[in-house]
A and B are shown apart, each in its own frame.
Chain A
Amino acid sequence: MLCVNLQQYSRPCTSVSGGISQLFVFDPSDFNFSQSYTGDAVNQASSYSAVALNANATAAGGAKFYNIKFQFKEAERKWKQTVKGCSVKYEHEVDCTLPQLSNDLTDFLKSLDSAGCCCGLGLIIQHNDGKIFVMGEKFVNGNQIPFFQVQMDGSDGTSGKLFDDENAAHVVFKGDYSRELYEFTGGINAILAFT
């Protein structure tokens, strides 16, 4: 440890499931996450354990976690790490399928496009194994963190041709950052309070 502090990693001694259970989108400017530092210098935990609205953000004014009700079993979170020299990049991606092309879908996509252009999007992703991850957050412990811009990028849609063809949009969120996502350990009910 003369040069760097490494940590051990133990796989969980439980079964692990794949897939996404719930997905929420939010305005990163509205929410402040609390990141606790526990453990020692060698084994440091740094998850988010609480979330609150920022000053002047109100639920009545639209500061909420908005549920994206995707087609069952059709959402996935992926990331890829690369490094050039010492510069590390994590390419994050969340995909989900939203059935039926409609005006509601058009309005929803327009809102994502607008938000992605000016302020970025935040995502809360609950995996089927219960873990909750935060993507695109802006405020941590009351401070603004380096910009983690997430946008809708690469989405597509189809009406299909036949009656039993797929009629859906495949919505894709992308964002590059310097690390994997932090987990929110405050529980799903803490998230649902802001829906």
Chain B
Amino acid sequence: MNIRVKKEYETVVVGFNNCGLPLGQRSDLDVLARIAHQSGNQVMLNYFEEVPTPDALEAKKVDDFLKKTEK
């Protein structure tokens, strides 16, 4: 899953997941997408080029967990 933010939001700083790097430098945008869904925060949902569905985010979470356990 390739989650990207819109070009104009790449320099925006959002503090989450114990990090405050600009969105264009974040590798944990799935966490932000999950927060945006759970909070229903329209401002945050608008950051994304294409907002991943909660099901897709859940599947990614499972995949990431399985990859970790394989190591």
User: Are A and B a genuine interacting pair, yes or no?
Assistant: yes
Q: A36 interface residue, CB < 8 Å from B?
A: yes
Q: Is the CB of B16 within 8 A of A50?
A: yes
How many Å lie between the Cα of A190 and that of B36 in the bound state?
A: 16
- The 8 A CB mask of B21-32 against A (1 = contact, 0 = none) is 100000000001
How many Å lie between the Cα of A192 and that of B32 in the bound state?
A: 18
Residues A3-58 near B (CB distance < 8 A)? 32, 34-38, 49-53
Residues of A within 8 A of B17 (CB): 186-187, 190
Q: Is the CB of A37 within 8 A of B14?
A: no
Interface size class of B (residues with CB under 8 A): 20 to 34
Residue from the set B15, B32, B36 with the largest chain A CB neighbour count within 10 Å: B15
A190-B19, A192-B20 as given contacts; A142 in contact with B42, CB under 8 Å: yes
A36 in complex: contacting residue of B12, B13, B39, B42, CB < 8 Å: B39
From DSSP, what is the main secondary structure of chain A's interface residues? mixed
Q: Is the CB of B18 within 8 A of A190?
A: yes
Q: Is the CB of A52 within 8 A of B44?
A: yes
Q: A66 interface residue, CB < 8 Å from B?
A: no
How many Å lie between the Cα of A35 and that of B15 in the bound state?
A: 13
Q: Is the CB of A34 within 8 A of B35?
A: yes
Q: Is the CB of A51 within 8 A of B43?
A: no
| Chain A residue, CB-CB nearest to B12 | A52
B interface list, Cβ under 8 A from A: 12-21, 32, 35-36, 38-44
A interface list, Cβ under 8 A from B: 32, 34-38, 49-53, 141-142, 186-194
A-B contact pairs, 28 of them (CB 8 A): A34-B16, A34-B36, A34-B44, A36-B35, A37-B38, A37-B39, A49-B35, A49-B38, A50-B35, A50-B39, A51-B14, A51-B15, A52-B13, A52-B14, A53-B12, A141-B41, A186-B18, A187-B18, A187-B19, A188-B18, A189-B15, A189-B19, A189-B20, A190-B19, A191-B20, A193-B19, A194-B13, A194-B15
